[in-house]
Amino acid sequence: MIAAAASPLQFELRCTQCGAVPAASAGIIACAVCGGLLAYELDASARIDADGYRATLRARRSSIEHVDRSGVWRFRELLPPLQPGKIVTLREGDVPLYEARGGGDYARASHVRYLHLGMNPTGSFKDFGMTVAISHARAGGASVAVCASTGNTSSAMAAYAARAGMRAAVLLPDGGISEAKLAQTLDYGAQAIAIAGDFDAALEMVRSLDPIRFALVNSVNPLRIEGQKTTAFVMLEASDFKVPDWVILPGGNLGNSSALGKGFREAKALGLTAKVPRLAVVQAEGASPLVRAFETGEDLRPVKAQTTATAIKIGAPASWRKSLSEVRASNGTVIAVSDEEIGDARAVIGAEGIGCEPASAASLAGLRKLIAQGTVRAGDDVVLVLTGHMLKDTAYAAGYHAGGARFSNPIVRAANASEVRARLDALLQ
Protein backbone atom coordinates (compact mmCIF):
# COMPACT_ATOMS: atom_id res chain seq x y z
CA MET A 1 0.00 0.00 0.00
CA ILE A 2 1.36 3.40 -0.94
CA ALA A 3 1.68 5.88 1.93
CA ALA A 4 0.47 9.46 1.57
CA ALA A 5 2.17 12.82 1.57
CA ALA A 6 -0.65 13.98 3.87
CA SER A 7 -1.87 12.70 7.22
CA PRO A 8 -5.57 11.88 7.77
CA LEU A 9 -7.84 14.90 8.17
CA GLN A 10 -10.03 15.73 11.15
CA PHE A 11 -13.79 15.45 10.73
CA GLU A 12 -16.57 16.08 13.22
CA LEU A 13 -19.98 14.43 12.87
CA ARG A 14 -22.56 17.17 13.26
CA CYS A 15 -26.22 17.88 12.51
CA THR A 16 -26.63 19.78 9.24
CA GLN A 17 -29.66 21.61 10.62
CA CYS A 18 -29.02 22.52 14.28
CA GLY A 19 -25.27 21.85 14.53
CA ALA A 20 -25.60 19.43 17.49
CA VAL A 21 -22.81 16.87 17.91
CA PRO A 22 -24.14 13.36 18.62
CA ALA A 23 -22.86 11.62 21.75
CA ALA A 24 -21.99 8.42 19.86
CA SER A 25 -21.36 8.04 16.15
CA ALA A 26 -21.75 4.29 15.43
CA GLY A 27 -24.74 3.69 13.19
CA ILE A 28 -26.38 7.02 14.06
CA ILE A 29 -28.26 8.50 11.10
CA ALA A 30 -30.44 11.31 12.48
CA CYS A 31 -29.84 14.11 14.99
CA ALA A 32 -31.27 13.22 18.41
CA VAL A 33 -32.09 16.89 19.02
CA CYS A 34 -33.92 17.96 15.86
CA GLY A 35 -34.10 14.89 13.58
CA GLY A 36 -31.92 16.55 10.91
CA LEU A 37 -29.38 14.71 8.76
CA LEU A 38 -25.81 14.39 10.00
CA ALA A 39 -22.63 15.16 8.08
CA TYR A 40 -18.90 14.77 8.64
CA GLU A 41 -17.70 18.37 8.76
CA LEU A 42 -14.12 18.94 7.74
CA ASP A 43 -11.99 20.95 10.18
CA ALA A 44 -12.03 24.42 8.61
CA SER A 45 -8.31 24.97 9.20
CA ALA A 46 -7.28 21.74 7.40
CA ARG A 47 -4.85 22.13 4.46
CA ILE A 48 -2.76 19.63 2.55
CA ASP A 49 0.39 19.84 0.46
CA ALA A 50 -1.42 19.79 -2.90
CA ASP A 51 1.60 18.94 -5.07
CA GLY A 52 2.73 16.18 -2.73
CA TYR A 53 -0.76 14.73 -2.54
CA ARG A 54 -1.16 14.76 -6.33
CA ALA A 55 2.09 12.81 -6.59
CA THR A 56 0.76 10.27 -4.08
CA LEU A 57 -2.40 9.90 -6.17
CA ARG A 58 -0.35 9.34 -9.33
CA ALA A 59 1.65 6.61 -7.62
CA ARG A 60 -1.51 4.97 -6.28
CA ARG A 61 -3.09 4.88 -9.74
CA SER A 62 -0.29 2.63 -10.92
CA SER A 63 -0.25 0.42 -7.81
CA ILE A 64 -1.55 -3.16 -7.89
CA GLU A 65 -3.36 -2.80 -4.54
CA HIS A 66 -7.13 -2.40 -4.76
CA VAL A 67 -7.19 0.16 -1.96
CA ASP A 68 -4.74 2.31 -3.95
CA ARG A 69 -6.52 1.95 -7.29
CA SER A 70 -10.03 2.44 -5.89
CA GLY A 71 -11.35 5.89 -6.81
CA VAL A 72 -12.67 6.11 -3.26
CA TRP A 73 -9.89 4.71 -1.05
CA ARG A 74 -7.10 6.32 -3.07
CA PHE A 75 -8.34 9.47 -1.29
CA ARG A 76 -8.53 7.76 2.11
CA GLU A 77 -6.81 10.61 3.97
CA LEU A 78 -9.74 12.83 2.94
CA LEU A 79 -12.34 10.45 4.46
CA PRO A 80 -13.35 9.71 8.06
CA PRO A 81 -10.65 7.36 9.37
CA LEU A 82 -10.86 3.57 9.07
CA GLN A 83 -8.12 1.01 9.59
CA PRO A 84 -6.89 -0.13 6.13
CA GLY A 85 -7.53 -3.79 7.01
CA LYS A 86 -11.24 -2.99 7.49
CA ILE A 87 -11.85 -1.76 3.95
CA VAL A 88 -14.41 -3.68 1.85
CA THR A 89 -13.68 -2.78 -1.76
CA LEU A 90 -14.45 -4.02 -5.26
CA ARG A 91 -11.97 -1.51 -6.72
CA GLU A 92 -14.81 0.91 -7.40
CA GLY A 93 -14.60 4.51 -8.48
CA ASP A 94 -11.81 4.43 -11.05
CA VAL A 95 -14.23 5.59 -13.73
CA PRO A 96 -13.56 7.25 -17.11
CA LEU A 97 -14.14 10.82 -18.24
CA TYR A 98 -15.18 10.64 -21.91
CA GLU A 99 -15.44 13.27 -24.64
CA ALA A 100 -19.15 13.79 -25.39
CA ARG A 101 -19.17 14.66 -29.07
CA GLY A 102 -22.68 13.43 -29.86
CA GLY A 103 -24.07 14.87 -26.64
CA GLY A 104 -22.25 18.16 -27.22
CA ASP A 105 -23.70 18.51 -30.73
CA TYR A 106 -27.15 17.59 -29.44
CA ALA A 107 -27.02 20.26 -26.74
CA ARG A 108 -25.20 22.78 -29.02
CA ALA A 109 -22.25 22.99 -26.66
CA SER A 110 -18.60 22.68 -27.66
CA HIS A 111 -16.82 21.39 -24.55
CA VAL A 112 -18.78 18.56 -22.96
CA ARG A 113 -17.59 15.39 -21.24
CA TYR A 114 -19.26 12.49 -19.47
CA LEU A 115 -18.02 11.18 -16.12
CA HIS A 116 -19.41 7.67 -16.41
CA LEU A 117 -20.23 6.36 -12.96
CA GLY A 118 -22.01 3.43 -14.60
CA MET A 119 -18.52 1.97 -15.14
CA ASN A 120 -18.45 0.84 -11.52
CA PRO A 121 -18.46 -2.79 -10.28
CA THR A 122 -22.25 -2.91 -9.88
CA GLY A 123 -22.94 -0.48 -12.73
CA SER A 124 -23.89 2.68 -10.87
CA PHE A 125 -22.53 5.55 -8.75
CA LYS A 126 -23.79 3.87 -5.60
CA ASP A 127 -20.57 1.87 -5.29
CA PHE A 128 -18.70 5.05 -4.35
CA GLY A 129 -20.82 5.43 -1.23
CA MET A 130 -21.51 1.81 -0.48
CA THR A 131 -17.88 0.76 -0.07
CA VAL A 132 -17.53 3.34 2.73
CA ALA A 133 -20.90 2.69 4.39
CA ILE A 134 -20.49 -1.10 4.42
CA SER A 135 -16.83 -0.97 5.50
CA HIS A 136 -17.71 1.17 8.53
CA ALA A 137 -20.85 -0.85 9.29
CA ARG A 138 -18.87 -4.09 9.40
CA ALA A 139 -16.03 -2.49 11.37
CA GLY A 140 -18.66 -1.33 13.89
CA GLY A 141 -19.94 -4.88 14.29
CA ALA A 142 -23.17 -4.67 12.25
CA SER A 143 -24.40 -7.95 10.75
CA VAL A 144 -27.39 -6.82 8.64
CA ALA A 145 -27.54 -3.92 6.14
CA VAL A 146 -30.88 -2.47 5.01
CA CYS A 147 -32.03 0.11 2.49
CA ALA A 148 -35.00 1.35 0.49
CA SER A 149 -34.24 1.46 -3.19
CA THR A 150 -35.26 2.05 -6.78
CA GLY A 151 -32.72 -0.68 -7.62
CA ASN A 152 -29.22 0.72 -7.77
CA THR A 153 -28.65 1.22 -4.05
CA SER A 154 -29.94 -2.30 -3.46
CA SER A 155 -27.60 -3.79 -6.08
CA ALA A 156 -24.60 -2.04 -4.55
CA MET A 157 -25.62 -2.84 -0.98
CA ALA A 158 -26.14 -6.50 -1.88
CA ALA A 159 -22.71 -6.80 -3.50
CA TYR A 160 -20.73 -5.05 -0.76
CA ALA A 161 -22.63 -6.80 2.05
CA ALA A 162 -21.83 -10.13 0.39
CA ARG A 163 -18.14 -9.22 0.20
CA ALA A 164 -18.25 -8.16 3.85
CA GLY A 165 -19.93 -11.38 4.98
CA MET A 166 -23.01 -9.45 6.09
CA ARG A 167 -26.66 -10.10 5.35
CA ALA A 168 -28.71 -7.52 3.48
CA ALA A 169 -32.38 -6.66 2.99
CA VAL A 170 -34.01 -4.13 0.68
CA LEU A 171 -37.48 -2.61 0.61
CA LEU A 172 -38.52 -2.11 -3.02
CA PRO A 173 -41.59 -0.58 -4.66
CA ASP A 174 -43.32 -3.70 -6.02
CA GLY A 175 -43.01 -3.76 -9.83
CA GLY A 176 -41.35 -0.32 -9.75
CA ILE A 177 -37.73 -1.17 -10.49
CA SER A 178 -36.04 -2.51 -13.61
CA GLU A 179 -35.71 -6.24 -14.03
CA ALA A 180 -31.91 -6.00 -14.32
CA LYS A 181 -31.58 -4.22 -10.96
CA LEU A 182 -33.86 -6.71 -9.25
CA ALA A 183 -31.93 -9.61 -10.76
CA GLN A 184 -28.64 -8.10 -9.60
CA THR A 185 -29.92 -7.56 -6.06
CA LEU A 186 -31.14 -11.16 -5.83
CA ASP A 187 -28.01 -12.57 -7.42
CA TYR A 188 -25.75 -10.92 -4.85
CA GLY A 189 -27.84 -12.55 -2.16
CA ALA A 190 -29.91 -9.77 -0.59
CA GLN A 191 -33.40 -10.39 0.75
CA ALA A 192 -35.76 -8.37 -1.47
CA ILE A 193 -38.97 -7.26 0.23
CA ALA A 194 -41.47 -5.81 -2.24
CA ILE A 195 -43.90 -3.33 -0.68
CA ALA A 196 -47.19 -1.98 -1.98
CA GLY A 197 -45.97 1.63 -1.69
CA ASP A 198 -43.43 3.71 -3.61
CA PHE A 199 -39.77 4.52 -2.83
CA ASP A 200 -40.78 7.31 -0.46
CA ALA A 201 -42.88 4.90 1.62
CA ALA A 202 -40.06 2.35 1.64
CA LEU A 203 -37.55 4.96 2.83
CA GLU A 204 -39.86 6.05 5.62
CA MET A 205 -40.09 2.44 6.79
CA VAL A 206 -36.34 1.81 6.89
CA ARG A 207 -35.68 5.17 8.58
CA SER A 208 -37.92 4.08 11.45
CA LEU A 209 -35.79 0.97 12.17
CA ASP A 210 -33.34 0.82 15.07
CA PRO A 211 -30.02 1.84 13.41
CA ILE A 212 -28.01 -0.11 15.98
CA ARG A 213 -29.64 -3.41 14.95
CA PHE A 214 -29.89 -2.68 11.23
CA ALA A 215 -27.19 -0.70 9.42
CA LEU A 216 -29.12 1.74 7.24
CA VAL A 217 -27.13 2.37 4.06
CA ASN A 218 -29.34 4.83 2.18
CA SER A 219 -27.78 8.22 1.45
CA VAL A 220 -29.19 9.59 4.73
CA ASN A 221 -26.19 7.72 6.15
CA PRO A 222 -23.40 10.35 6.23
CA LEU A 223 -20.77 7.74 5.35
CA ARG A 224 -22.49 7.17 2.00
CA ILE A 225 -22.05 10.88 1.31
CA GLU A 226 -18.38 10.72 2.29
CA GLY A 227 -17.78 7.95 -0.26
CA GLN A 228 -19.74 9.72 -2.97
CA LYS A 229 -17.91 13.00 -2.47
CA THR A 230 -14.81 11.33 -3.91
CA THR A 231 -16.63 11.39 -7.28
CA ALA A 232 -15.66 15.07 -7.29
CA PHE A 233 -12.02 14.18 -6.61
CA VAL A 234 -11.97 11.56 -9.40
CA MET A 235 -13.41 14.11 -11.82
CA LEU A 236 -10.83 16.75 -10.84
CA GLU A 237 -7.96 14.28 -11.00
CA ALA A 238 -8.99 13.20 -14.53
CA SER A 239 -8.72 16.85 -15.67
CA ASP A 240 -5.42 17.49 -13.89
CA PHE A 241 -7.34 19.52 -11.28
CA LYS A 242 -8.74 21.97 -13.81
CA VAL A 243 -12.22 22.81 -12.50
CA PRO A 244 -15.07 22.67 -15.06
CA ASP A 245 -17.54 25.56 -15.29
CA TRP A 246 -20.56 23.30 -14.78
CA VAL A 247 -21.24 19.85 -13.38
CA ILE A 248 -24.71 18.57 -14.27
CA LEU A 249 -26.34 15.55 -12.66
CA PRO A 250 -29.74 13.91 -12.13
CA GLY A 251 -31.47 14.34 -8.78
CA GLY A 252 -33.73 11.86 -7.00
CA ASN A 253 -33.31 11.47 -3.26
CA LEU A 254 -30.63 14.19 -3.61
CA GLY A 255 -27.77 12.47 -1.82
CA ASN A 256 -25.45 12.55 -4.80
CA SER A 257 -25.73 16.27 -5.51
CA SER A 258 -25.14 16.89 -1.78
CA ALA A 259 -22.05 14.66 -1.94
CA LEU A 260 -20.54 16.20 -5.08
CA GLY A 261 -21.07 19.70 -3.73
CA LYS A 262 -19.30 18.71 -0.49
CA GLY A 263 -16.43 17.14 -2.41
CA PHE A 264 -15.81 20.21 -4.55
CA ARG A 265 -16.03 22.52 -1.51
CA GLU A 266 -13.53 20.41 0.41
CA ALA A 267 -11.12 20.22 -2.55
CA LYS A 268 -11.09 24.02 -2.58
CA ALA A 269 -10.83 24.38 1.20
CA LEU A 270 -7.84 22.02 1.25
CA GLY A 271 -6.05 23.97 -1.46
CA LEU A 272 -6.33 21.32 -4.20
CA THR A 273 -8.34 23.71 -6.41
CA ALA A 274 -8.99 27.45 -6.54
CA LYS A 275 -12.76 27.38 -7.21
CA VAL A 276 -15.81 25.12 -7.31
CA PRO A 277 -17.87 24.30 -10.42
CA ARG A 278 -21.49 25.42 -10.68
CA LEU A 279 -23.85 22.52 -9.96
CA ALA A 280 -27.01 21.91 -11.97
CA VAL A 281 -29.43 19.31 -10.60
CA VAL A 282 -31.88 17.91 -13.13
CA GLN A 283 -35.12 16.23 -12.07
CA ALA A 284 -37.79 14.44 -14.09
CA GLU A 285 -40.83 16.73 -14.50
CA GLY A 286 -43.11 14.30 -12.66
CA ALA A 287 -40.71 14.05 -9.73
CA SER A 288 -39.34 17.57 -9.39
CA PRO A 289 -40.13 18.96 -5.93
CA LEU A 290 -36.64 20.51 -5.67
CA VAL A 291 -37.31 22.76 -8.66
CA ARG A 292 -40.20 24.37 -6.83
CA ALA A 293 -38.22 24.73 -3.59
CA PHE A 294 -35.32 26.30 -5.55
CA GLU A 295 -37.56 28.75 -7.40
CA THR A 296 -39.78 29.81 -4.50
CA GLY A 297 -37.34 29.66 -1.59
CA GLU A 298 -39.98 27.74 0.37
CA ASP A 299 -39.52 24.39 2.10
CA LEU A 300 -39.80 21.37 -0.18
CA ARG A 301 -43.33 20.13 -0.70
CA PRO A 302 -43.40 16.38 -1.40
CA VAL A 303 -45.18 15.23 -4.56
CA LYS A 304 -46.56 11.89 -5.74
CA ALA A 305 -43.74 11.01 -8.14
CA GLN A 306 -44.37 9.92 -11.71
CA THR A 307 -41.71 9.25 -14.36
CA THR A 308 -40.52 6.44 -16.60
CA ALA A 309 -36.98 7.07 -15.31
CA THR A 310 -37.69 4.76 -12.36
CA ALA A 311 -34.34 5.39 -10.63
CA ILE A 312 -35.39 8.98 -9.84
CA LYS A 313 -39.09 8.38 -9.23
CA ILE A 314 -38.90 10.03 -5.81
CA GLY A 315 -41.33 12.63 -4.47
CA ALA A 316 -40.02 13.33 -0.95
CA PRO A 317 -36.22 13.52 -1.28
CA ALA A 318 -34.51 13.10 2.08
CA SER A 319 -31.46 15.26 1.33
CA TRP A 320 -33.21 18.25 -0.27
CA ARG A 321 -31.87 20.80 2.24
CA LYS A 322 -28.27 19.70 1.77
CA SER A 323 -28.62 19.52 -2.00
CA LEU A 324 -30.18 22.98 -2.22
CA SER A 325 -27.51 24.45 0.00
CA GLU A 326 -24.76 22.97 -2.24
CA VAL A 327 -26.50 24.25 -5.38
CA ARG A 328 -26.76 27.74 -3.90
CA ALA A 329 -23.19 27.73 -2.58
CA SER A 330 -21.97 26.91 -6.09
CA ASN A 331 -24.17 29.54 -7.78
CA GLY A 332 -25.88 26.65 -9.55
CA THR A 333 -29.40 25.82 -10.62
CA VAL A 334 -32.18 23.20 -10.57
CA ILE A 335 -34.38 22.33 -13.54
CA ALA A 336 -36.82 19.68 -14.73
CA VAL A 337 -37.00 17.83 -18.05
CA SER A 338 -39.76 15.70 -19.53
CA ASP A 339 -39.66 11.93 -19.86
CA GLU A 340 -39.55 12.36 -23.63
CA GLU A 341 -36.50 14.63 -23.38
CA ILE A 342 -34.83 12.05 -21.12
CA GLY A 343 -35.60 9.27 -23.63
CA ASP A 344 -34.13 11.16 -26.58
CA ALA A 345 -31.02 12.26 -24.65
CA ARG A 346 -30.44 8.67 -23.52
CA ALA A 347 -30.56 7.49 -27.14
CA VAL A 348 -28.05 10.17 -28.18
CA ILE A 349 -25.62 8.98 -25.49
CA GLY A 350 -26.15 5.40 -26.64
CA ALA A 351 -25.54 6.25 -30.28
CA GLU A 352 -22.05 7.53 -29.50
CA GLY A 353 -21.04 4.15 -28.09
CA ILE A 354 -21.31 5.10 -24.43
CA GLY A 355 -24.86 4.55 -23.20
CA CYS A 356 -26.49 4.97 -19.82
CA GLU A 357 -29.73 4.26 -18.03
CA PRO A 358 -32.69 6.66 -18.40
CA ALA A 359 -32.21 8.66 -15.18
CA SER A 360 -28.59 9.40 -16.09
CA ALA A 361 -29.60 11.01 -19.37
CA ALA A 362 -31.48 13.71 -17.47
CA SER A 363 -28.04 15.37 -17.30
CA LEU A 364 -27.77 15.76 -21.10
CA ALA A 365 -31.45 16.69 -21.46
CA GLY A 366 -30.84 19.29 -18.76
CA LEU A 367 -27.75 20.70 -20.47
CA ARG A 368 -29.67 21.06 -23.73
CA LYS A 369 -32.31 23.08 -21.94
CA LEU A 370 -29.81 25.19 -20.00
CA ILE A 371 -27.98 26.06 -23.23
CA ALA A 372 -31.25 26.92 -24.98
CA GLN A 373 -32.25 29.25 -22.13
CA GLY A 374 -28.79 30.85 -21.96
CA THR A 375 -27.90 29.74 -18.41
CA VAL A 376 -24.97 27.65 -19.68
CA ARG A 377 -22.90 29.17 -22.50
CA ALA A 378 -22.02 27.15 -25.60
CA GLY A 379 -18.29 27.36 -24.87
CA ASP A 380 -18.49 26.49 -21.15
CA ASP A 381 -16.51 23.52 -19.87
CA VAL A 382 -19.24 21.06 -18.84
CA VAL A 383 -19.13 17.64 -17.20
CA LEU A 384 -22.30 15.54 -17.34
CA VAL A 385 -22.49 12.88 -14.64
CA LEU A 386 -23.82 9.57 -15.98
CA THR A 387 -25.02 7.73 -12.92
CA GLY A 388 -25.88 4.26 -14.24
CA HIS A 389 -24.89 1.80 -16.95
CA MET A 390 -26.93 1.22 -20.11
CA LEU A 391 -27.57 -2.42 -19.13
CA LYS A 392 -29.38 -1.34 -15.97
CA ASP A 393 -32.63 -0.92 -17.90
CA THR A 394 -32.65 -2.83 -21.16
CA ALA A 395 -36.45 -3.03 -21.34
CA TYR A 396 -36.57 0.77 -21.51
CA ALA A 397 -33.98 0.86 -24.31
CA ALA A 398 -35.63 -1.91 -26.31
CA GLY A 399 -39.01 -0.20 -25.98
CA TYR A 400 -37.53 3.11 -27.15
CA HIS A 401 -36.01 1.60 -30.28
CA ALA A 402 -39.12 -0.41 -31.13
CA GLY A 403 -41.46 2.49 -30.49
CA GLY A 404 -40.66 4.84 -33.39
CA ALA A 405 -39.26 7.61 -31.17
CA ARG A 406 -37.07 10.41 -32.56
CA PHE A 407 -33.74 8.55 -32.43
CA SER A 408 -35.06 5.01 -32.50
CA ASN A 409 -33.04 2.36 -34.27
CA PRO A 410 -35.54 -0.40 -35.02
CA ILE A 411 -34.72 -3.99 -35.95
CA VAL A 412 -35.23 -4.80 -39.62
CA ARG A 413 -36.33 -8.27 -40.69
CA ALA A 414 -34.96 -10.10 -43.69
CA ALA A 415 -36.88 -13.02 -45.21
CA ASN A 416 -33.99 -14.43 -47.24
CA ALA A 417 -30.30 -14.04 -48.12
CA SER A 418 -30.86 -11.48 -50.81
CA GLU A 419 -32.76 -9.22 -48.43
CA VAL A 420 -29.90 -9.56 -45.97
CA ARG A 421 -27.42 -8.58 -48.71
CA ALA A 422 -29.54 -5.62 -49.71
CA ARG A 423 -29.55 -4.39 -46.10
CA LEU A 424 -25.79 -4.76 -45.86
CA ASP A 425 -25.18 -3.11 -49.22
CA ALA A 426 -27.23 -0.15 -48.08
CA LEU A 427 -24.69 0.44 -45.30
CA LEU A 428 -21.95 0.93 -47.92
CA GLN A 429 -23.79 3.85 -49.52
Interaction site with ligand F0G (CB under 6 A)? 124, 149-153, 219, 250-257, 311-312, 357, 359-360, 387-388
Give the residue with the Cβ less far from ligand F0G, 150 or 330: 150
Measured from the CB atom, the residue of 16 and 219 that comes closer to ligand F0G is: 219
Q: Which is nearer to ligand F0G, 27 or 123 (CB)?
A: 123
Q: Which is nearer to ligand F0G, 69 or 265 (CB)?
A: 265
Identify which of residues 56 and 120 has a Cβ nearer to ligand F0G in the complex: 120
Between 135 and 253, whose beta carbon lies closer to ligand F0G? 253
In the complex, what is the shortest distance from the CB of residue 49 to ligand F0G, in angstroms, rounded to a whole number?
A: 32
Nearest distance from C-beta of residue 170 to ligand F0G, angstroms: 9
Q: How many CA atoms lie within 13 A of 53 on its CB side?
A: 22
Nearest residue to 124 via CA among 101, 100, 97, 92: 92
Q: Which is nearer to ligand F0G, 112 or 182 (CB)?
A: 182
Q: Minimum CB separation from ligand F0G for residue 240, in Å? A: 27
**In angstroms, how far is CA 160 from the centroid of its own chain?**
16
- Min. distance of Cβ 93 from ligand F0G in angstroms? 16
Q: At its nearest, how many Å lie between ligand F0G and the CB of residue 176?
A: 11
- Please, what's the b/e burial string for 409-420 (b: 16 or more CB within 10 A of its CB; e: otherwise)? eeeeeeeeeeee
User: For residues 243 and 311, which CB has a smaller minimum distance to ligand F0G in the complex?
Assistant: 311
Three-class secondary structure assignment of the chain = CCCCCCCCCCEEEEECCCCCCCCCCCCCCECCCCCCEEEEEECCCCCCCHHHHHHHHHHHHCCCCHHHHCCCHHHHHHCCCCCHHHCCCCCCCCCCEEECHHHHHHHCCCEEEEEECCCCCCCECHHHHHHHHHHHHHHCCCCEEEEECCCHHHHHHHHHHHHHCCEEEEEEECCCCCHHHHHHHHHCCCEEEEECCCHHHHHHHHHCCCCCCCEECCCCCHHHHHHHHHHHHHHHHHCCCCCCCEEEEECCCCHHHHHHHHHHHHHHHCCCCCCCCEEEEEEEHHHCHHHHHHHHCCCCCCCCCCCCCHHHCCCCCCCHHHHHHHHHHCCCEEEEECHHHHHHHHHHHHHCCCCCCHHHHHHHHHHHHHHHCCCCCCCCEEEEEECECHHHHHHHHHHHHHCCCCCCCCCCCCCCHHHHHHHHHHHHC
Distance CA 277, CA 311 (A): 25
CB closer to ligand F0G, 270 vs 309: 309
CB of 281 to ligand F0G, least distance (A): 8
Nearest distance from residue 117's CB to ligand F0G, in Å? 8
Fill in the amino acid letter for 121: P
CB of 318 to ligand F0G, least distance (A): 9
- Taking alpha carbons only, the member of 155, 150, 153 closest to residue 217 is 153
Between 88 and 281, name the residue whose CB sits nearer to ligand F0G: 281
Q: Which is nearer to ligand F0G, 267 or 279 (CB)?
A: 279
CA angle, corner 131, sides to 127 and 132, nearest 5?
125
